[in-house]
Structure 1
């Protein structure tokens, strides 16, 4: 079946489509699509007018396109933590935003008209923070707030792997919401901790740099690192990596510096040396370790290993025995 056929067979839920809405005693509001479409709902908890937490869980019985219209006629910053599964957003203005498990996506908008896309049978779980302009002004000042929020169009400001700290705070909030617990000091602490970490990342310098790289670019840069890990025994070159992921040389080099604060050569060398160290510890011979991490000549490997660790590979050999 072609991609066009799959799209044509998707079930479209209009923004005016009837949704079951319920308000719980503990303060959060739940919106749910009809049961015949599967388990598809979102829960919203409002701390105040400018700070909300939304937990969503979708497992549709068919490919689903849900039209969305922002209920907020004001500038908002949205921080989305992917907990499970992948989904996408397509704006009426052509904006495209990706959401992936284990990644944090940050967007800003004023009026948002578009659609969210979900695959049949796939579970997508996400946690979102929605922060209004006045709260951002309070925490980071008007000038920085205006820079982040822009002109009101949907903008993707960041797309990167969630840190261990963010994942921990997001998981804690999800557990609270799952058990209907709200209004606790712990929930406020987890929410503000998440917000604090992300606002630090959106410094003016980091923001201007991050806008040079789309979500697709970031995924390609991550793939470059994955290729290095998977193929470290091969003579990897910049042209090969560019062709493998579909980035030009300039963007690959700039992207590696932005995403990993490294160069291709330095990153590959570190990956090889740390893998070699593990092999040697487990009892692998020096020549064998050299070959497995891409060195044809053991002498060259020994020299590189010694430069990197400050000691020769023979000093590490067999230490875990």
Structure 2
């Protein structure tokens, strides 16, 4: 995969994302890239494993910069916009605006895509080869997802990663404190976890289409309200009143859009928060109260049901 930088006042510069030959199953390769010119600068850290590349990119822009993206080996791009925004324009003139706090996963043909960057932007991109995907999923299933394997750009999944299962996964992937051999295992595991989440969400999309854009916005609002009030979560009736949804749409829509019930989502958030607090050395009683359990025993039962071991065993 190649990026070619162009700007009216600058020279053309081209860089390669991922190796022309991939790291084998026993290796984990890393490369740092720096490009600068009148338009600003581009810095990236790449991590290669067999059939996959994780690229953490930072654009610092002083004037609009255009980048040509050419996919030769990597055809699956999972993009997470950490800061700013950019636009991708494919050869059929389809324009996709990628904005902060959201993820966009595409299948790309060999055609060039124009990326327009007008402001400073940070993103994490997971690049996967067709061979990597073929090892995981039957080709017929993939073909049914894509409809047209040769389309310049096909959207596989999109949405907000904030306050979702993907947000701590991204934090783990960008954590540089672990030894390199552990990081290699972690990155490959997290790629598979993100793929499973996004493919599940694409399965739910047909159901979601039955709801209006206004309903979906209100369901997203419900999710934000829940994540902001873990100690004292709203009742279903209160959540419906605050979002303007009736009880049926709230329960059915939440399950369809997010793949879990309102109660299940509250429990998952509580348990994930509790796990991290326990890792940081807090005691069980303190953590139970922090995540909204008045009774430490009830918290212990819920925690063991979720993770399969007692909270006191986390350390």
TM-score by length of 2: 0.56
Q: What is the deviation of 1:255?
A: 8.6
Partner-residue secondary structure (3-state), 1:151: coil
User: Greater Rg, structure 1 or structure 2?
Assistant: 1
Contact 1:21/1:31 (8 A) holds in 2: no
Q: What is the deviation of 1:53?
A: 0.9
Q: Structure 1 CA distance, aligned partners of 2:243 and 2:174?
A: 45
After superposition, the C-alpha distances for 1:216-238 in whole angstroms (9 at most, x for unaligned) are: x97994378559x99x9999799
Q: Structure 1 CA distance, aligned partners of 2:245 and 2:63?
A: 43
Partner of 1:90: 89
Flag the 1:20–1:105 CA change in 2: closer, same or farther, 3 A.
closer
Flag the 1:107–1:100 CA change in 2: closer, same or farther, 3 A.
same
Partner of 1:58: 59
Is 1:189–2:191 an aligned residue pair? no
Q: Which residue of 136, 140, 163 maps to 1:139?
A: 136
Contact 2:219/2:243 (8 A) holds in 1: no
Is 1:198–2:195 an aligned residue pair? yes
Q: What is the deviation of 1:113?
A: 1.3
Partner-residue secondary structure (3-state), 2:72: coil
Q: Structure 2 CA distance, aligned partners of 1:130 and 1:92?
A: 20
Is 1:12–2:11 an aligned residue pair? no
Partner-residue secondary structure (3-state), 1:111: coil
Is 1:222–2:234 an aligned residue pair? no
Partner of 2:293: none
User: Unmatched 5+ residue regions in structure 2?
Assistant: 1-5, 19-27, 226-239, 247-251, 263-315
CA RMSD, Structure 1 to Structure 2 (Å):
4.7
Contact 1:173/1:187 (8 A) holds in 2: no
Is 1:169–2:164 an aligned residue pair? no
Contact 1:89/1:97 (8 A) holds in 2: yes
Partner of 1:68: 69
Partner of 2:104: 105
TM-score by length of 1: 0.55
Flag the 1:223–1:118 CA change in 2: closer, same or farther, 3 A.
farther
Partner of 1:79: 78
Contact 1:92/1:114 (8 A) holds in 2: yes
Q: Structure 2 CA distance, aligned partners of 1:174 and 1:65?
A: 26
Partner of 2:48: 46
Partner-residue secondary structure (3-state), 1:184: helix
Within 5 Å, give how 1:242-281 maps onto structure 2: 259=257
Q: Which runs of 4+ in 1 moved over 6 A?
A: 20-23, 210-213, 217-220, 232-238, 254-257
After superposition, the C-alpha distances for 1:138-177 in whole angstroms (9 at most, x for unaligned) are: 222222233334413211111111154322222232232x
Flag the 1:145–1:20 CA change in 2: closer, same or farther, 3 A.
closer
Partner-residue secondary structure (3-state), 1:197: helix
Partner-residue secondary structure (3-state), 1:71: coil
